Amino acid sequence: MSRDPVARGARQSRTGISDLWQAWWQHHRTSASDSLGRLADTPLQTLMTALVVAIALALPATLLLALENLRQLGDRWDSKPQMTVFLHKQVQAAAIEGFQAQLRQMVGVSSVEYISPERALREFQAQSGFSEAIAALDVNPLPPAVVVTPTAEAIAPERFEQLRQQIAASPLVDDISVDMEWVRRLNAIMTFGRQLVLGFAALLGIGVLFVIGNTIRLEIESRREEIVVIKLVGGTNGFVRRPFLYTGFWYGVIGGLLACLLVSVGVASLAEAVRQLAASYQSTFELQGLGLTGCALLIICCVTLGLLGAWLTVGRHLSAIEPR
């Protein structure tokens, strides 16, 4: 027998903490396996609920994946917005060379190409189909022009507009032709599409919470007598709540795996058609799937919704079940 009561008390305290930890861990393991076993006992109901979760998360995931593929396709597209700077007809050759040198020194300018009136007229004859009528002209009506290609950083609408205004300030410039409408439309469509998909995902996420919550509520009602007995013998609300939380967790895991499977099957079914379409435009673009990171994020979202739906439902209905 120890002569030091303080040391004896410390050993008892350590033993008590170890026992509590073992009991807590054992109950988590039991709750997880028991919840999974109950789901396996009703495979059809489990599959239907998990499919609802999977479809609700697979739809926005597919739309976001489509937007990401469109963004990558835009990044691979070699065409860039350009501006054609028309100069006054009276501008001398030396002034044009100096103007080109000035443009090349501007921030945001990638390349500068001079198009003489003669070259512009030849290209217009070749492309317009009115070569005979144009050849009959006594004077070339086309002015000298400079085609300015911006850098990748200057493609953004705001930066592009600033560059245009800077070039237009030169006294040599008569007019500037620039088509920024497609750039604005593309950015607006991508922004709108992303916001629309996120809003759509939020609505479907709320629907998932209701589906899982209703499923957990029905299970709580079917186990009402069991819950009453557990509370009679001293079981806390946390002890009773744990198996239902694991039920929501497993619904999230199964639903997430099914969602990844649905998205992957959809991508695989379209990959060959997209590859052939890209090849017809001499492009090597291939449809990208979720990948490991995307699948992990999708499963995490499903598990989070499953746990949240179970927590809200159990917290609401468990307090109403008390021994009499």
CA atoms of 289 and 270, how far apart (whole Å):
11
Task: Fill in the amino acid letter for 104.
Answer: R
Give the per-residue pLDDT at 80: 63
The residue with greater pLDDT, 126 or 166, is 166
pLDDT, one tens digit per residue, over 25-41 is 777 788 788 888 888 88
The residue with greater pLDDT, 181 or 301, is 301
Rounded to 5, what percent of the chain is helix, strand, coil? 75, 5, 20
**pLDDT score of 154 more than 80:** no
Task: Fill in the amino acid letter for 241.
Answer: R
225-232 average pLDDT score: 77
Give the per-residue pLDDT at 10: 45
Give the per-residue pLDDT at 257: 93
Quick check: 54 and 258 in contact, CB under 8 A? yes
- Best-predicted range by mean pLDDT among 24-33, 173-182, 308-317? 308-317
Taking every pair of Cα atoms in the chain, the longest distance, rounded to a whole number of angstroms, is: 123
- Domains of the chain are 34-76+186-320 (no CATH), 83-178 (3.30.70.3040)
Give the per-residue pLDDT at 9: 46
**pLDDT score of 5 more than 60:** no
pLDDT, one tens digit per residue, over 243-295 is 888 888 999 999 999 999 999 998 888 888 888 877 776 667 778 888 888 88
51-69 average pLDDT score: 86
Q: 180-204: string of b/e by CB count within 10 Å (b at 16+)?
A: eeebeeeeeeeeeeeeebeeebeeb
200-213 average pLDDT score: 86
Q: Please enumerate, as own/partner, the contacts of 316-320 that have beta carbons within 8 Å and a separation of 24 or more.
A: 317/217, 317/220, 317/221, 318/220, 318/227, 318/237, 318/240, 318/241, 319/237
Give the per-residue pLDDT at 260: 92
How many other CB atoms are there within 10 angstroms of residue 49's CB atom?
22
Q: How far is CA 1 from the centre of its chain?
A: 67
Percentage of the residues of the chain whose pLDDT score is greater than 90: 5
Q: Give the DSSP H/E element, type plus range, for residue 115.
A: strand 109-115
Report the chain's mean pLDDT, rounded to a whole number. Answer: 80
Here the tokens at position 17 are: 């903490």
Please name which of 317, 313, 315, 299 lies closest in space to residue 50, comparing C-alpha atoms.
299
pLDDT band, very low/low/confident/very high, at 13 (cuts 50, 70, 90): very low
pLDDT band, very low/low/confident/very high, at 6 (cuts 50, 70, 90): very low
Give the per-residue pLDDT at 2: 46
Please name which of 308, 288, 273, 306 lies closest in space to residue 61, comparing C-alpha atoms.
288
